[in-house]
Structure 1
């Protein structure tokens, strides 16, 4: 941030330093799970800036009076806003105006600049003996809660039908290894250490034929899905109704990927379906890239936030650009309910869409 010319002040936990900063601030942006730390927000209340924004990543709601300080409660996916509003039916009229959706940004331009050249990808595949393999991939995890073992179960079923299948995992836990040994698929796994190095991650994504994802605890917005879609890797995501279910919003079933029930046979079936039809994978790939560029592209997300701030602070400013900020409407709940039941079935055929 300092390199970008932005002044950064580290409070080192000393909230006493916050009050004078707030008195000179127009906008205070709180990024968290939706809860509001009372010690911190007591200071915000006493020194309230002109605008208080919250990026709400897990859809929690703070029942204290501090929530009144928040001008805009921005959820990172429609699915967690839908869940929150269903839980707060009696409060809908009070909170509908401040609760909105603005997704996490995906830096498509940066991703495209870091994609591996064909010769590097070929070398990578040769190095790990992947050049003649059909590769299912997942982000893996160094935390058991973020990885549902059903993906291994489904892959084991898939590998029985496609003997040159491999499963690429970036990050594993002892539980994952133990389950893979139980399934006798260790020779099918290609394991790498978990990494935050985007360029390395893009090499992994680019090597995949299909990105398969299921989270044991579910996800409010899975950035790995968005990155895989930006690269053009067809995504198969497992539905998690009743919990955060961000993947069903990222992936439009039958258009930019497939959403499948939490059933290892059905997951294996959809993998076989995609394996057998390269043209379908190409359609999903192109649709995925278009959707990410339209809905999650970083500069569009940032501009949308900028416009929201400016329109609040300066009501006389006319904003003409299309905003990615979505206001809450009952249709968000209806769309979420429909997506929870819109799952892959063998007769579903993807088709080109204008995204």
Structure 2
């Protein structure tokens, strides 16, 4: 098949990584892949080119790129986007519609497009079952299938023990301390200061505990710097690490991955990374936000799901004592990720869906359930926050979602006009 991948940029974000991994996966299955980047250039272009994908960047001459691609036809156009109305992406979908036999979107935030974009898409790929359920509840229509983001386990080599020991010595992390860690992008929505508050409580009762944060958001960094010197000595702050070897050693220095994000996760590559390095994960449920982290992390198997932030300390103290769970994840976490999210498997599932739709055959992966379908039951420590559950129900009412999306669209348009008057 001839496949065109459309990505919002080639930067280091999860959406961009997914676009890269799908494209490389399609190439490994023997398909011809072209990548159209309509945003910032970035380091992912080198990996795509090395895999045999031809990459086009809008750069300074958008029309020239579209003219070059204009004479081509594609079996599948796979666009990676937030899912909501976006005028630039709508223009690209209009441009692609007559050239493509099938248009698929990976709907990152299970959002509704209240413009014309939805009418130009044949199949919606949702990253988790809970995303699919909430998209339907909001009135999402059309064919939908749960296809998670693909993970290339080969990108995450096991770090050497000597390198981990050197890392700990360099950053003054005592060898006999239990290390909770967190890696992320320095964005406010990707972090939650509650992990600092929980750690302060834990270290007060368990002095041989350390916190290692990589790429923390400004508000989390500020909170750490406010700690008294005694507590501050138990925390190591590092900036963003982009080299895989450096990142692997940082993961290797951790005993557990401590995850909480204000906006939750629509998938959560960082969670899969932690499991690939054999780290049990503690993650906090956010039912009124993105909440796929409660699927990626299986409670009692990959670590602990905490049903609200107030139970985070309990989960941390429990995991420190749960030697059996930590041992199971250390030995089987990597294999669990490969079984569920391996690049070859996920891309194969996506290609099967595309081929079935192109051939006019039904596919068992399609999910046509209505908005009344119950959400998956979330198992975890503690109880859900009643306020967050109420907000989740309100946000998923179609008319509320419509108003919120329209306000978001208007705000985005206003900000764009201020930047480019």
2:254 counterpart of 1:217: no
Q: Is contact 2:304-2:381 (8 Å) kept? A: yes
| Structure-2 residue corresponding to 1:27 | 76
Deviates further, 247-256 or 183-192: 183-192
Deviates further, 255-264 or 208-217: 255-264
2:252 counterpart of 1:201: no
Counterpart CA distance in 2 for 1:279 and 1:326 is 38
Counterpart CA distance in 1 for 2:242 and 2:344 is 21
CA RMSD of aligned residues (A): 2.7
| C-alpha deviation, 1:20, in angstroms | 6.3
2:384 counterpart of 1:343: no
Q: Is contact 2:164-2:250 (8 Å) kept? A: no
SS of 1:236's equivalent in the other structure is strand
Structure 1 residues 286 and 268 mapped into 2: Cα distance closer, same or farther (>3 Å)? same
Aligned pairs for 1:185-334 within 5 A: 185-264=231-310, 266-314=311-359, 327-329=367-369, 333-334=373-374
2:87 counterpart of 1:72: no
Q: Is contact 2:136-2:370 (8 Å) kept? A: no
Counterpart CA distance in 1 for 2:236 and 2:68 is 53
Counterpart CA distance in 1 for 2:158 and 2:128 is 27
Deviates further, 253-262 or 241-250: 253-262
Q: Is contact 1:135-1:208 (8 Å) kept? A: yes
Counterpart CA distance in 1 for 2:244 and 2:368 is 33
Q: Is contact 2:127-2:149 (8 Å) kept? A: yes
Counterpart CA distance in 2 for 1:333 and 1:249 is 17
Ranges in structure 1 where 5+ consecutive residues have no aligned partner:
347-355
Counterpart CA distance in 1 for 2:69 and 2:185 is 38
Count of aligned positions: 328
Q: Is contact 1:19-1:44 (8 Å) kept? A: no
| C-alpha deviation, 1:183, in angstroms | 4.1
SS of 2:189's equivalent in the other structure is helix
Q: Is contact 1:15-1:40 (8 Å) kept? A: no
SS of 2:114's equivalent in the other structure is coil
2:87 counterpart of 1:39: no
SS of 2:347's equivalent in the other structure is helix
Task: Tell which has more relative contact order, 1 or 2 (C-alpha 8 A, sep 6+).
Answer: 1
Counterpart CA distance in 1 for 2:273 and 2:370 is 29
Counterpart CA distance in 2 for 1:328 and 1:215 is 30
2:129 counterpart of 1:81: no
Counterpart CA distance in 2 for 1:328 and 1:205 is 40
Q: What TM-score comes out, normalization by structure 1 length?
A: 0.83
Counterpart CA distance in 2 for 1:284 and 1:330 is 36
Q: Is contact 1:50-1:313 (8 Å) kept? A: yes
Deviations 1:138-189 (A, max 9, x none): 1144222221000001111111121011100002344223312444332111
Ranges in structure 2 where 5+ consecutive residues have no aligned partner:
1-47, 384-421
Q: Is contact 1:102-1:326 (8 Å) kept? A: no
| Structure-2 residue corresponding to 1:4 | 51
| C-alpha deviation, 1:329, in angstroms | 4.2
Q: Is contact 2:136-2:371 (8 Å) kept? A: no
Counterpart CA distance in 2 for 1:120 and 1:176 is 27
Q: Is contact 2:153-2:276 (8 Å) kept? A: yes
Structure 1 residues 26 and 120 mapped into 2: Cα distance closer, same or farther (>3 Å)? same
| Structure-2 residue corresponding to 1:118 | 161
Deviations 1:27-76 (A, max 9, x none): 2111110135332233234x241111111111122123432221111112
Structure 1 residues 84 and 19 mapped into 2: Cα distance closer, same or farther (>3 Å)? farther
Deviations 1:265-300 (A, max 9, x none): x21121111112322311244453332111111111
Counterpart CA distance in 1 for 2:64 and 2:115 is 22
| Structure-2 residue corresponding to 1:150 | 194
Counterpart CA distance in 2 for 1:216 and 1:258 is 18
